[in-house]
Chain A
Amino acid sequence: MYGVQLDQLAAVLGVGEPRARTITSSWRRARYAQSARLGPGGPWTWLTRAGLAACGLPFPATIPALSRLAHLRAVTAVRLALEATSGYRAAGAFWRSERRLRARVGGRVGLRQHLPDGEVHWPDGTQAAWAGECWAVEAELTRKTVARTAAIMREVLTRTGDYGCPAAQVRVPGQPPRHARVLYLCSPAARPVVARARDAIGALGARVEIRDLPPGAGLPPAGLPPAGLPPAGLSRAGSRRAGPPGPQP
């Protein structure tokens, strides 16, 4: 998770928004986190380098990219919805974020291998029928082409190696696939394309689950007055780009 908006943070912490705001302030004072109003809706909070180090996370500290705010919110909403289910808690499942996957790959920007928005690992030895599986999770806000979506589905479903593994192990014939299924959470705009892509990949499509994005996955409508100035380094243009309501690319 690169950053989280206040209402989602409150849901994670199980408190109300005022209390979450107070907690965020204490993190800010300890220099563990920064927060700012980056787009419509409540302020965003993200960990600084000191905060990441305190959590033992080996990721570079970055401000959430303005162009990805909608996507980050959607993925967080998906994660929260999954984690809220009784099956998830009973199985002790583990969410492996895209940030963690990207860190394993080694920060190679420009790599053409597709990284899912997250992975859910279901431990062995539980009552769940899918115990021992690894799921790929994709949050689709915008509509891509059917060919591109089908190519991503095929790539994710036929991959055998972990992310960051040597090239020779990415896809080894005869090895079990890494992802038992891929879970697509779609906006209304993207859903038809994803469904057609699933049909296009034939038998592999049996391992594709399509659902709607959970409520609250989209950015709230614009128009709320900004609570403060963006932090240093964020331009006015950047703030404007983050503005449009609804799902953004």
Chain B
Amino acid sequence: MAMLRKETHFEIHHLNEPKLLKVITLDEFIEQGLAVCAGSAEFCDLLLWLPNEERLRSPHLLSLPVGGFLIPEPLIGDFDSARLHLHTPKDSDVVQPGDVIAITPGNPLVRVLYRRGSDSNLLFMTDRCNSLCLMCSQPPKDIDDRWHIEENLRLIDLMDRVEENLGISGGEPTLYRDGLLEILAKCKAVLPQKSIHVLSNGRLFQDPSWIAALSAIGHPQLSWGIPLYADNAEDHDHVVQAPGAFSETLQGLYNLARANQIIEIRVVLNRLTTPRLPELAHYVFRNLPFVRHVALMGIESTGLARKNYEELWIDPLDYQEPLSQAVYFLFNRGVPVSIYNLPLCLIPAHLSRFARQSISDWKNLFIDTCQQCAAVKHCSGFFKSHTDRWQSRGVQRLSTEAFSAYARSAQ
């Protein structure tokens, strides 16, 4: 099972300016026209999916009033037109009808900003961040990349109008406060059927002026994923490499609660966070009883995590006990809890009911050992950044009997 990347190369002709384009089939164009987009769109925003065969059969299609054409294979024959067109993708699976792509003149790179049918689309806000977590999978850049806001506002218009999950993340999304609020307002107006989940360290919410702004959004399905790595300032601040972060995050959490926001606490499981994981669960329950969900996440071994290996790496087999204690502490008290990003062979059977298949389709992969495993369809697999150094000694294929033990304990 290969993971699907979010970008590939095409040969691009007659592109004069950067564009965001919605890929649609001829049938869609005929049946729905611009209604295939959730928001306001024009014909020039559409990129018609046009295999060679269709074009050669019906050359008049080239005069359709679309923004351009996408040939999802090497070009056959001549393209008799000075209109924008793309052909010969390096990986032909990457771009599909319904996707929204971004292209720039002089660059063969085609980025998929929205993938139809994927439940892990996200609006990327910025590469900047005000923390520097030891395990940061996306090291921050100190640049002005406000242009993401405009791109996202445009992107919202071009998405499908369907019920699905949409994430907002970065870097730290709250660094562009007005842009974020504008995007959330637009999501409510244009994509009210989508569940929005924003990943943020919550630190800037310590400023109470956010409360009114957040309450005013009134989004029907908005939730916030905020990391908390310890029940005390010393340990948390060390993990995020920012003195005062614990206090700011807690203040931020209370302000989010005052603004009636739905809050999820996220914890990345590593050598620094697992020793006091049960104590952290206790702290969350006593001090943040309004939390709707706790997500306990296997570590992604990319970015800054690599250079902090000694501090961070712990074999998941070695934290099964605190993990179990924390999970059942929360579950027994009615707090929904999930385990993400850990292969099923590394989770004891009695915890498998909490495991979710969670690695985004564009990030996950399975290794050789997985080929004969009975659990592979239910397993989140590994991050594509996975290496031997970060591999548990416990990775193994599960037999059918072993896997049915998991299924039974999920009752």
B is a partner of A: no
Q: Which residues of A contact B (CB under 8 A)?
A: none
Q: Which residues of B contact A (CB under 8 A)?
A: none
